[in-house]
Amino acid sequence: MGAPDASRVSTRFPEFPWDTLAGAKQRAAEHVDGIVDLSIGTPVDPTPDVAREALVAAADAPGYPTVFGPESLRQAAVDWLERRFGVTGLTASQVLPTVGSKELIANLPMQLGLGPDDLVVVPELAYPTYEVGARYAGCQVLAADSPDVIAQHRPALVYVNSPANPHGQILGADHLRTMVELARDLGALLVSDECYLEFAWDGEPVSVLHPDVCGGSSEGLLAVHSLSKRSNLAGYRDAFVTGDESVVTELLAVRKHLGFMLPTPVQAAMTAALADDDHVAEQRERYAARRSDLRAALESAGFTVEHSEGALYLWATRGEPCRDTIAWLAERGVLAAPGDFYGTAGARHVRIAFTATDERVASAVRRLTA
């Protein structure tokens, strides 16, 4: 049996988006003051002490961890959701730790047993991994936001995302309630990506598992949460999914066979971080200041900022094709993400992350306002 044909990757998956930015990145790096990379929302601020101390304390871990993780970790997730977002009625048996949220989303359709006969609905502007995960399982994909459009189909899985990546839109409780009712009527699993729930700037985000949205039942619903942004733990790869216990149980069974498990020290760090809100409040203040400075600079440079009510990005346009805007920014040493990464609806926008250091954000502000 010969080696797999690498060329098949191009037919199974789209081109990795950030590979298309190589030219703009090189041009931005030529700036006399260096590149300001605002294209990826990766945390740069310190991992909180509470997580690092818990990691070190659990470092003597010679045995294998479990896929389900300790009950203390899963209960910490339940307690956090109730304490911060009013989600009630969950139990620790409804929480499953995952190796980051991207891993879960990329593997979810496959691990649920979906395939070519199944349709996955993703938002019209969406995190690319929703589609990648559907393609990985061989599913059909529909990009749609309108409940009326979705109702014309029979999807197996529907994604919603609030606060949303890339554009930061916050979906209200009424809209989420409509989506819950629609998914249940269609017999679809509704998966709510809530990784940015801690970061709202205009408006109040709500979890799909809040009783005002789901009617007090998690049936047919999953919510995905991550500590990468909340707690600057992207390097730890810790997240969790919660909701419909029958679906969580199915995923647990599959993932036991496949060995998807968090290292024991990471489980300990995650437990400690979920129990502490103070470090999140401090991080929120940092991001709020960077967001304010960058937004003012962009607007002074002729950009219009749309949505951006939540998450860690500004969704901006100069009224031109997004790749022209990327080139304009690169001339000033600033790298952003073109809106077409996230769907055709983003063809005239760019996504600008405010996760860079204070010094780099200040440098970008100076260049934009020069």
Report whether pLDDT(22) > 60.
yes
**CATH match of 49-275 with 3.30.1330.10:** no
Is residue 7 very low, low, confident or very high in pLDDT (cuts 50, 70, 90)? very low
Q: Residue 83 and residue 22: Cα distance in Å, rounded?
A: 43
| pLDDT tens-digit readout, 282-304 | 999 999 999 999 999 999 999 99
Report whether pLDDT(6) > 60.
no
The angle at the Cα of 214, spanning 208 to 218, to the nearest 5 degrees, equals 85
Domain extents in the chain = 14-46+279-369, 49-275
- Let me know: does 314 contact 354? Beta carbons within 8 Å: yes
Other CB atoms within a 10 A radius of the CB of residue 100 amount to 20
Mean predicted confidence (pLDDT) in 86-99: 98
Phi/psi-derived region of residue 311, left when phi > 0, alpha when psi is between -120 and 50, beta in every other case = left
- Let me know: does 93 contact 70? Beta carbons within 8 Å: no
- The whole-number pLDDT of residue 12 equals 67
- The whole-number pLDDT of residue 9 equals 45
Question: CA 324 → CA 19, 231, 233, 258, 368, distances in Å?
Answer: 17, 35, 34, 44, 16
- Let me know: does 55 contact 268? Beta carbons within 8 Å: yes
Report whether pLDDT(363) > 50.
yes
**Domain pair 14-46+279-369 / 49-275, same fold:** no
Question: Any idea which residue has 């609806």 for tokens?
Answer: 345
Which tokens hold the place of 200? 């709202």
Other CB atoms within a 10 A radius of the CB of residue 124 amount to 15
Mean predicted confidence (pLDDT) in 142-148: 97
Is residue 170 very low, low, confident or very high in pLDDT (cuts 50, 70, 90)? very high
- The whole-number pLDDT of residue 20 equals 86
* Beta carbons within 8 Å of 362's beta carbon, 6+ residues apart: 293
- pTM, 2 dp: 0.94
Determine the topology of domain 14-46+279-369 in CATH: Aspartate Aminotransferase, domain 1 (3.90.1150)
| pLDDT tens-digit readout, 117-142 | 999 999 999 999 999 999 999 999 99
Q: In 66-99, which positions are buried (b, 16+ CB within 10 angstroms) versus exposed (e)? A: ebbbbeebbbbbbebbeeebebeebebebbbbbb
Mean predicted confidence (pLDDT) in 27-38: 97
